[in-house]
């Protein structure tokens, strides 16, 4: 039995998310169906984590086990030929039997893009936001996120996660032309965490909250006191890191 790892990119616009569900088109289902066709055996794909409906990925990781002897370079070419246009496999390699896409992960990095004004070409990849935003207080708020904190105020509460603590290694806002871009790297993320952080920091950028509100929200754990959840279309999973031994 071989363990194979895939590095995936996908446009999440027409998917109801990564994880297989009873109804709706999912990334996991599309990949498993293509692998079943290619390998002539049922395949259960395990991803590094869920992405929401409409969320994109440039470096999602997934693994599966197979008895098939197909070389990885042939699997890569053939699998991409079977997949729809909005999913691409960037690399495929064989890994140690104890590799696990979710539980072996040590860090992830996400990017969120806000377009200031109307967007046409990139409209499914950004949050089009018209009111003026000030980058300086948003950047100050982002710096407060670094370190280990409880993110109860910045996660979906249904269901309430068993474990609310995340260690954020980097959180930064930059301006790229007409876009404000937020990138955050952490050991783990809670559901909707990045989108709620962005929604809250947008309020800071508009001047309706001070930058130090982030610190107060981290301490309170009160989701109702934080900002709205930003749209999924602006969010992209950039990469997932693993120990060198895997």
Q: Is residue 185 part of a domain?
A: yes
At 244 the pLDDT is 84
At 202 the pLDDT is 98
Domain interval for residue 24: 2-95
Same domain, 82 and 184: no
Same domain, 82 and 162: no
At 246 the pLDDT is 64
The pair of structure tokens assigned to 52 is: 């929401």
At 231 the pLDDT is 97
Model confidence pTM above 0.85: yes
At 81 the pLDDT is 97
Same domain, 189 and 141: yes
The pair of structure tokens assigned to 82 is: 């079977």
Same domain, 53 and 139: no
Tell me the CATH number at 18: 3.30.70.580
Number of domains present in the structure of the chain? 2
Tell me the CATH number at 120: 3.30.70.660
Just list the catalytic residues.
Answer: 52
Please write down the long-range contacts of 187-191, taking CB distance under 8 Å and 24 or more positions apart.
Answer: 187/106, 187/107, 187/108, 188/108, 189/49, 189/108, 189/110, 190/151, 190/154, 190/155, 190/156, 190/161, 190/164, 190/166, 191/50, 191/52, 191/155, 191/156, 191/161
Q: Which residues of the chain have pLDDT under 70?
A: 245-246
Same domain, 80 and 172: no
């Amino acid at each position: 039995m071989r363990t194979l790892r895939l590095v995936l990119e996908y446009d999440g616009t027409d998917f109801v998310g990564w994880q297989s569900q009873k109804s709706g088109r999912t990334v996991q289902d599309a990949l498993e169906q293509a692998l079943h066709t290619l390998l002539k055996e049922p395949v259960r794909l395990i991803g590094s984590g869920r992405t929401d409906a409409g969320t994109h990925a440039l470096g999602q990781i997934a693994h599966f086990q197979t008895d098939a002897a197909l070389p990885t370079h042939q699997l890569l070419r053939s699998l991409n030929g079977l997949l729809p246009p909005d999913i691409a496999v960037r690399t495929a390699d064989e890994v140690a039997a104890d590799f696990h896409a979710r539980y072996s992960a040590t860090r992830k990095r996400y990017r969120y893009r806000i377009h200031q004004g109307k967007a046409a070409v990139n409209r499914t990849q950004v949050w089009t936001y018209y009111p003026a935003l000030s980058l300086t207080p948003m950047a100050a708020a982002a710096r407060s996120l670094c370190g280990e904190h409880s993110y109860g105020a910045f996660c979906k509460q249904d269901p309430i996660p068993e474990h609310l603590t995340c260690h954020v290694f980097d959180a930064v806002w930059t301006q790229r032309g007409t876009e404000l871009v937020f990138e955050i790297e952490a050991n783990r993320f809670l559901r909707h965490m990045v989108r709620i952080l962005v929604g809250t920091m947008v309020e800071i950028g508009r001047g309706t909250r001070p930058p130090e509100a982030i610190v107060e929200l981290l301490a309170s754990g009160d989701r109702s006191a934080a900002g709205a959840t930003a749209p999924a279309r602006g969010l992209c999973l950039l990469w997932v890191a693993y120990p060198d031994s895997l």
